[in-house]
Amino acid sequence: MKLDVGSGDERIREIVAGWSFQTQLGFFLIALFGAVPIIQWLAYLIPFDSVRLALFRLDGFASDFFGTILLIFFLLYKRGYIADTIFSAPANYKTNLKNVWLRFLIYTVVILAVGLAQVYNLAYLFNIGPKAMKLTGDLGGFLVFTLIVPITEEIYSRFLALYIISRWSNRLVGVTVSVFLFTIGHYSPTMSDKTQNIILGTLWALVTMKFGTLWPSLAMHSWNNMIVYFIKSWRLPLF
């Protein structure tokens, strides 16, 4: 069974095709250990609460840290060739922003601004009031949850896992593995939570392949996290 979403992602597929099998395997293992909370799973085997909590924090830090290192590597390697491809303007949309660093900065600022505007509109809709836009923690924690986490997870799931597995097999298998890693990488205590992660993971994978860039999925991922971040403090009966 083939999954046909066009050829907008041809440049990304060319990058992965140009890697040796050893390189593909290495990047896939990085994505695997970055996306899957293996350290957290091991923590459940430890009877000491303090050690378990420390391992939980280490797992989240390690995932974000290595994802950030990957991002920096992609921005620097061969003058940002990989980053310029996976963070290119969406297929069929022209842009004059040739500098990948400048493009990355402007796009992320726009994503955050649009996300905050969406939250403000939701707050107005639910008549929340002044507390709607109040951060529940420090600014750093907010940026990590709404920007760094989406960037690293998109690199792990929608770039490395999706395209390496697609290269080894086909697109349908690539999407399946990508969605699987994304789903088990998130705390999903109920079937509703698991279903939501599966739907979002599938949508974002298809959007990435359609437009040939991580920007659309990254934007939706960031906005989703931003809404989750703020809406928890609103104490709405539906949530």
Res 226: pLDDT: 93
pTM here? 0.89
Residue 4 resides in a domain: no
Residue 1 resides in a domain: no
Residue 39 resides in a domain: yes
Query: Any idea of the CA torsion for 85, 88, 91, 96, to the nearest 10 degrees?
Result: -130
d(CA 74, CA 155): 10
Contacts for 34 with CB less than 8 Å, ≥ 6 apart = 62, 63, 66, 67, 70, 152, 156
Alpha helix stretches (DSSP H) within 87-237:
100-125, 139-143, 149-153, 162-168, 171-184, 191-211, 215-231
Cβ–Cβ under 8 Å, residues 214 and 91 = no
Structure tokens at 231: 């809406």
Q: Which domain holds residue 89?
A: 10-231
d(CA 25, CA 11): 20
Residue 147 resides in a domain: yes
Residue 101 resides in a domain: yes
Res 130: pLDDT: 63
Residue 239 resides in a domain: no
Res 108: pLDDT: 96
Res 120: pLDDT: 87
Please report, in tens digits, the pLDDT of each residue of the chain (239 residues total): 556 666 679 999 999 999 999 999 999 999 998 988 887 777 778 877 888 788 877 877 888 889 999 999 999 998 899 999 999 988 666 677 788 999 999 999 999 999 999 988 888 887 776 667 778 778 888 999 999 999 999 999 999 999 999 999 999 999 999 999 999 988 777 888 899 999 999 999 999 999 999 999 999 999 999 988 888 777 665 55
Residue 212 resides in a domain: yes
Nearest by Cα to 146 from 214, 221, 200: 221
Residue 227 resides in a domain: yes
d(CA 236, CA 239): 5
Domain count, the chain: 1
